[in-house]
Amino acid sequence: MRRFFFRWLVGSLVLVCALPLAVLGGVSHAQPVDPASAPVVNQSSFQRLTQTLGNSGLPEPVVMAETGETRVFYLPVARNTMLSEQEVLFRARYLVGEESGGRLQLMVNGQPVFTRVYTGDSGKIDLKLPISKSESRRGFVELQVNWLSNRTLRTCEIEPASTNSLIIEPTTGIGYSVPDSVTLDLASAWQLLPADGVLAVSDATLSQAAFDAAWRVGTALELAGKQLNIQSLAPEGSRIEVSPVQIPDVLRGHTISERLTGQPESVVLEDAVFGGLLLLDPKSLLGDVVIADDALTTRLERTLAAFRSTLETPAQIGWFNDAISKTFLDSTFMADHNVMILGRGSSRVVVIKASAAENVAELFGLQWRNILNASAVEVSAAKAKPLSPSGVLKLDNLGANTRSMDVVNHAVWQTDFTFRSVDFNGRVPSELVLDVAASPDTSGARPVLSVSWNDILLTATQLQADGEAERISARIPSYAIGQSNQLKVMLQRLPSANGCTEPQVGFPFAVMPTSYVRTDKATPEPTFNGLMPMLANKANLVLPADWLANAPAHLSDVVRLASASGLSPQGAQLVLQAPDTEYEPNGLFVAMGVPVKSVSPAVSVNDDGRLVINGYESEQLNIGGLSDVSSIEVVHSGEYFGLYWNALPKVDKPDSGLKLVTPYELDRGDIAIVTSSGLVSWIDSTNPAGSTLTERAQSVFYEWRRFFSWGVPTIVGLLFLVLLLVALAYRSGRRNGTK
């Protein structure tokens, strides 16, 4: 029966309508869709889709105030699909403080499409720039914005700071049409998910498997820059506000369908109404992403059957059967896939079964996402890039560009990666080995090379610059490593041109593909950064068992903490703790609202809204009357480290989770105070005077001290052994001489 229900559901999705309907869990209200930020559909043989910067994760305006500044935006579009009626929607404001004005140049996929000089004090820019019909194979459109000075300079004259500014609005984007019959692949559907959509679960009370799947999928979405609102489906019998939907002619006059075509009104969500909405606009019920558990499957079977039982005429029953016959997901197909798309156009829904949840983060990561050229897959495993057997990570495996660049005076070579994008398997970067080559220049001076990791200087040296490869090694301190990592190699040459008598010419420099990062086994340190490499491998997520009874109210907190701390949605294990019992760690852990054996937190958040932070000998802070406050701190129980989360009791928190917690990152200290606006305060309790224990431990002196801790005793032992052997040899020689 469960398999047959999916044949009904997906077959009906060919009749998806244009106007979305929002059905929220608990008390539900229709949510208007902002046409500037959400995809919309044209009621014709084509779907009209719009993707904006705001809908892609850039909700704030982008300001360009530097002279000759360039910004490049990658706007996701449907992959491997013919895009027609394309147009760039560029919306911005400008402020001009120079008489000559500012020059705007727009380029799409490397081709110039617009240029103009803007003068006057200020103004608005609203452009619709048509693009020729084409097929997008890359899954994005590259929009390059160049904001240039319009002044004329003499040769070698240094351009002063500009007083011109360009403010690019979040409504900037791209509109295009695709055939109505097109079903997007999973890679496109994931990229086109809104930055603030809905992750739906079957009910306010979830099974452990469904809750486990929801936090993993939610964390994967958060890591992809999508802060989805976690909601449960509206319960049966609840009263909801509906917006009118368009229905096929054959259903005109049908009792249930007619309730959905008039002005917005309140209706009781009985099974037949739910089934009708499910056929006409599945996204309005299931959100942008839905966790498919047994409870959801059972409900959808029941409601579709209830709607079918209300069909009265042979034509209506024929329509229903015809919709089922046109489905491309039969019962066998559904059984063999655990990640899929239901629906088309703006009403598409990404469905993820619980069995696939732990692999979602890596499946839709940069390593594997582009191979998802189907609308449904069955995933059994998806892991990040592995280290070599010797524990080495080559830089070119991170997508680093190893081609030569011409350097006139200054150049920066850079590569970025997230810690989660590599399967470090309990190891951590410890040493950087760079192979570089630079040609000599006409100045005769040796260029200076500087290397930094997350803007922390690792080493600097002068190169021989004879065109041959040179190897440079640098230790990577643990405090430099974060969830996001940026390696910069900066080369500075002495200007070779003689004043303004000759043009400046660049000379080649390259970071060789043989460069790599050496790793060592990660060891826990009592800071957020010190635990992150281990949390990214394996850890226990410990939660109160009663959180299952009000799941959406707690899932947002779990997702935010998992993404902030580096907890792996793939390697972590969910542990539910019974009420009034202590958790006894057996490894690294993240405990939320659960007492931990032998742990006395330095921060307490009491029921009356009182926040208390204990110092070494006295209280650092004691304040009452607070709300919306939680604390996170590094603790240890026996031999195991972990994170302890505590918050004000959540009383009657709405199921819809509308009060989102702003994403944050735990990247310093060992105590953090968090509200719904994000991280508001952090403390390094290891040393209130300033530098942390980690920083002291990773100082140069400490490196020598670590050497002395084992090296000196070893050397002394060897010297004693040598002296003993010499003494024995001397004594043996004297005996032989006496004889």
The closest alpha carbon to 219, from 688, 535, 639, belongs to 535
pTM listed for this prediction: 0.80
Rounded to whole angstroms, how far apart are CA atoms 189 and 152?
Answer: 47
For 532-541, write each residue's pLDDT tens digit.
999 999 999 9
Q: Is the pLDDT of residue 694 over 90?
A: no
Q: How far is CA 641 from CA 101, 524, 588, 591, 634, in A?
A: 59, 7, 6, 11, 7
Residues 536 and 676 in one domain: yes
317 and 402: one domain? Answer: no
Residues 120, 195 share a domain: no
Looking at residue 6, what is its pLDDT? 38
My answer on whether 422 and 318 are in the same domain is no
Q: What is the CATH number of the domain that holds 70?
A: 2.60.120.260
* Same domain assignment for residues 161 and 188: no
pLDDT > 70? residue 118: yes
Where would I find the beta strands (DSSP E) of 296-348?
339-342
Identify whether the C-beta of residue 303 lies closer than 8 Å to the C-beta of residue 271.
yes
Task: Report yes or no on 699 lying in a domain.
Answer: no
CA-CA distance, 694 to 524, in Å (whole number)?
11
Same structural domain, 677 and 532: yes
Q: Predicted confidence band at 164 (pLDDT cuts at 50, 70, 90)?
A: confident
- 30, β-bridge pairs: none
pLDDT at 717: 79
Note whether residue 461 is domain-resident: yes
- Give residue 14's identity as a one-letter amino acid code: V
pLDDT value of position 1: 40
722 contact partners, CB below 8 Å, separation of at least 6: none
Q: Pick the more confident residue, 301 or 500.
A: 301
What pLDDT sits at residue 263?
A: 58
Better pLDDT: 505 or 411: 411
Q: What is the pLDDT of residue 443?
A: 81
Q: SS3 of 716, please?
A: helix
* Helix (H) / strand (E) containing 74: strand 69-76
**DSSP-derived 3-state class of residue 6:** helix
How many domains would you assign to the chain?
Answer: 4
Q: Give burial (CB, 10 Å; 0-12/13-18/19+) of 334.
A: buried
Model pLDDT for residues 12-71, shown as the tens digit of each residue: 433 333 323 333 333 233 333 333 333 333 344 677 888 899 888 888 899 998 778 899
692 located within any domain: no
Cβ–Cβ < 8 Å for 104, 114: yes
179, 195, 225 - which closes a domain: 179
Mean pLDDT within 521-548 = 92
Q: Give the 3-state secondary structure of residue 83.
A: strand
Out of 328-342, 536-550, 625-639, give the one with best mean pLDDT.
Answer: 536-550
Within a domain: 256:
yes
Classify burial at 396, counting beta carbons within 10 Å of its beta carbon; exposed 0-12, middle 13-18, buried 19 or more. middle
Residue 382 located in a structural domain: no
Distances in Å between the Cα of 300 and the Cα atoms of 256, 353, 434, 447 are 17, 15, 57, 68
Q: How many CB atoms lie within 10 A of CB 255?
A: 11
pLDDT digits (tens, 9 = 90+) for 195-240: 888 999 999 999 999 999 999 999 999 988 888 899 999 998 888 7
Which domain does 26 fall in, by range? 2-35+183-342
- Measured N-to-C along each axis, helices 551-565 and 208-223 cross at an angle, to the nearest 10 degrees, of 50
**Residue 386 domain-assigned?**
no
Pick left, alpha or beta for residue 86 (phi over 0 → left; psi -120 to 50 → alpha; otherwise beta): beta
pLDDT, tens only, 301-343: 888 889 889 998 999 888 887 666 554 444 566 678 899 888 7
Average pLDDT, rounded, for the chain: 81
Q: What percent of the chain has pLDDT over 70?
A: 82
Beta carbons of 200 and 123 less than 8 angstroms apart = no
pLDDT at residue 85 is higher than 60: yes
Tell me the per-residue pLDDT of 555-606, one tens digit each, with 9 for 90 and over. Answer: 999 999 999 999 999 989 999 999 889 999 999 999 999 999 999 888 888 7
Q: Nearest 5°: CA angle at 26, between 196 and 664?
A: 35
Same domain, 9 and 63: no
Distance CA 487, CA 131 (A): 37
Output phi, psi for 195, to 5 deg.
Answer: -70, -20
- 426-441 in b/e form (b: 16+ CB < 10 A) is ebbbbebebbbbbbbb
Q: What is the pLDDT of residue 575?
A: 96
491 against 617, higher pLDDT: 491
- Range of lowest pLDDT (137-141, 355-359, 486-490): 137-141
Q: Is 244 exposed, middle or buried (0-12, 13-18, 19+ CB in 10 A)?
A: middle
233 and 335 share one domain: yes
Query: Looking at 500, 521, 542, which one is the last position of a domain?
Result: 521
Same domain, 577 and 447: no
Say if CB 138 and CB 83 are below 8 A apart. no
Mean pLDDT of 652-667: 62
What count of Cα atoms within 13 Å lies in the side-chain half-sphere of residue 737? 6
Q: What is the largest CA-CA distance in the chain?
A: 127
Q: Do both 516 and 588 map to the same domain?
A: no
**Is 703 within the bounds of a domain?**
no
Mean pLDDT to the nearest integer, 152-162? 61
Half-sphere exposure of 347 (CA within 13 A, CB side): 29
Distance of alpha carbon 35 from alpha carbon 40, whole angstroms: 7
Q: What is the number of residues in the chain?
A: 739
CA distance linking residue 36 with residue 32, whole number of Å: 12
Chain position carrying tokens 């500075």: 492
Picking from 179, 205, 240, the residue at the C-terminal end of a domain is 179
- Mean pLDDT across 452-481: 94
DSSP H or E segment with residue 722: helix 700-738
Parallel/antiparallel/unpaired status of strands 427-438 and 572-577: unpaired
For residues 455 and 498, state if they share a domain: yes
Which residues have CB under 8 Å from 310's CB, separation 6+?
254, 255, 256, 272
pLDDT at res. 154: 55
Distance CA 161, CA 179 (A): 48
pLDDT at 156: 60
pLDDT greater at residue 713 or residue 403: 403
Q: Would you say residue 598 lies in a domain?
A: yes
Residues 166 and 193 in one domain: no
Q: Where are the beta strands (DSSP E) in 546-629?
A: 572-577, 589-592, 603-605, 611-614, 619-623
